[in-house]
Amino acid sequence: MDEGVSINVKLSIIIPTYNEEEYLPKLLYSINEQNFKDYEIIVADAGSVDKTKEIAESHNCKVIPGGLPAVGRNNGAKIAEGELLLFLDSDVVLSADYLESAIEEFEEKNLGIAITQIIPMSDRSVDKVLHKFANFFMKRAESIKPHGAGCYGILTTKYIHNQAQGFDECLDFGEDSDYIERIGKIQTFKVLRKPRLLVSTRRLEKEGLKDLAFKYTKSTIYDFRGKKISAEELDYKFGHEKTEDIIKPHIIYAACGEGMGHAIRTSVVLEHLKEENEVLVFASGRAYEFLSEKFDDVYEIYGFNTVYENNAVNDRKTFIKAMKSLPRDVKDNIRLLYNISNEFKPNVIISDFEFYSNILSKIIRVPMISIDNMHVMTHCKIDVPKKFSRDKLKAESVVRSFIMRPQKYLITSYFYPEIKNKEKVSMYPPILRKEILNLEPVKGDHVLVYQTSTSNSKLIEILKDINENFIVYGFDMEKVDKNLTYRKFNEDRFFNDLGSCKAVLANGGFTLISESIYLKKPVLSIPVKGQFEQIMNAIYLERLGYGEYHEELEIDVVQDFLSKLDIYNNSLLSYHQDGNKDILKEIDSLIEQYSC
């Protein structure tokens, strides 16, 4: 078809492609079988080396240069003659009367942008369940936050597309979701109820593909994230088993991105596991940022985040934030995890309080090991004052929903309440970084202060009125102000300051309290209000005589604490921990057991 001829059609169908000779014919055939005929087809090809372009031309499609999906879609829209634009992935098939019913519903409801529901081209129960789940959440979330992806089919007008300045070509991943969300802010968005789009399950299956397919999947994901990886690196990582004829256990390790404790614990275990196992890592938020700097094979997923205000948990805002992003998170995370795990074929999944790995374990029926400090709440007999009962119940429900029925719970803790089910649960001392284990602590003349709110002016005023030297982390600045020395976070310097301090002032975070106890540093803990895990940590810290717990920070609280350091130092002499060897030995044993 001559792309210079104006045909004044109702609908322009735009399809980005790259080596789609297997799938494109099915889509073009389904388009041709539609009763609605007032359309043109534009194929934006990203340099296919197979017969994709020839197939498109044989079906009278306009064939133009493409690139990444955002580039291809925008290039197609530039030459489109239609009033309406329909963006389709190349591996979908239109159901009967799809075009007619989609346009009719779109115009009747006066929409600005819409997506359609999807049906998997598969008889597998897991595929049907996943796609029904995706449709359900897309519909439930449409009024909360417009969201979708190219696999759903994106229908809009050329005028609105131009008004929104098209897809963001700076995004090499998630450009479709970004496009829908931006237009959804200025126009009405809807999940169309009648039309259905049949979608390929190749991203969830790819059955029959061997090591080369996994290497290609990994390199493609790296490319889409803007990271480079060489073929030599891929051969080293994934050809190793064949050259040495050694079958190593395959492990998926997932870490929660809330705070830094999960990431730090995960990094220690990963350093151990990668010596004798093939490990892929999935993490969200700060955990991804931390782990991706230290290890290869770390993939980013979405995660849940708590909203804090004035050193307290804001439950309402936390819930609203989670619900707005949940449809996108579930769809994208499960698709990524399932796709990679199907090629990687893990023997074991290890989760440090990461929600989606728990779902993956159930879907692919792979044993899961839970490693965290959170499950002490649900699997041990915790004794706290009654005034915290509501916070305790809320926290327990969250913990139970995040990780459900793993084969084994490994709980790390510096306090040891009675275990409810010793067959399923084992307890070990906190997992510590080698830098902490190798430190030789001394008693200096400063107090280390670690806090997470840069607007905590009350804390600063209290510290200035106390005749002590304080090294303060958390305000992201380098400055000396009277008796306060502010420092930006640097691991090496932080370790030195922690190892040489005479006491620690912090919230109720598990990792810093654990490291302080190991180094025999008394702790004054002011937990975040409503954060039961921190409250529990602080209560047991005080009961053990390792420091104090207070709900509010006042000048007399700090002064009284500092006056009792000799008492706490004496109590800390009773704490002993022989590194991490016991829990690492247990992890190795479980991996061997579940990999047989």
Give the CA count within 13 Å in the CB-facing half-sphere of 269: 33
pLDDT of residue 514: 97
Judge if 11-199 and 439-572 fold alike in CATH terms.
no
The residues of the chain scoring below 50 in pLDDT are: 1-7, 206-245
Q: Residue ranges of the domains in the chain?
A: 11-199, 210-247, 250-432+585-591, 439-572
For domain 11-199, give the CATH number.
3.90.550.10
- The type of residue at 88 is L
Q: Which residues pair with 191 in a beta bridge?
A: 115
Select the CATH number that applies to the domain covering 439-572 from these four: 3.40.50.280, 3.30.1370.60, 3.40.50.300, 3.40.50.2000: 3.40.50.2000
pLDDT of residue 173: 64
State how far the Cα of 109 lies from the Cα of 97, in Å rounded to an integer: 18
Alpha-carbon dihedral angle through residues 569, 574, 578, 582, given to the nearest 10 degrees: -130
How far out from the chain centre does Cα 470 lie? Answer: 35
Strand stretches in 183-320, DSSP E: 189-199, 250-255, 278-283, 298-300, 308-309, 312-313
CATH architecture classification, 250-432+585-591: 3-Layer(aba) Sandwich (3.40)
pLDDT of residue 174: 74
pLDDT of residue 415: 97
State how far the Cα of 569 lies from the Cα of 520, in Å rounded to an integer: 7
The residue to which tokens 């995004």 are assigned: 171
This prediction's pTM: 0.60
Contact 529, 370 (CB under 8 A): no
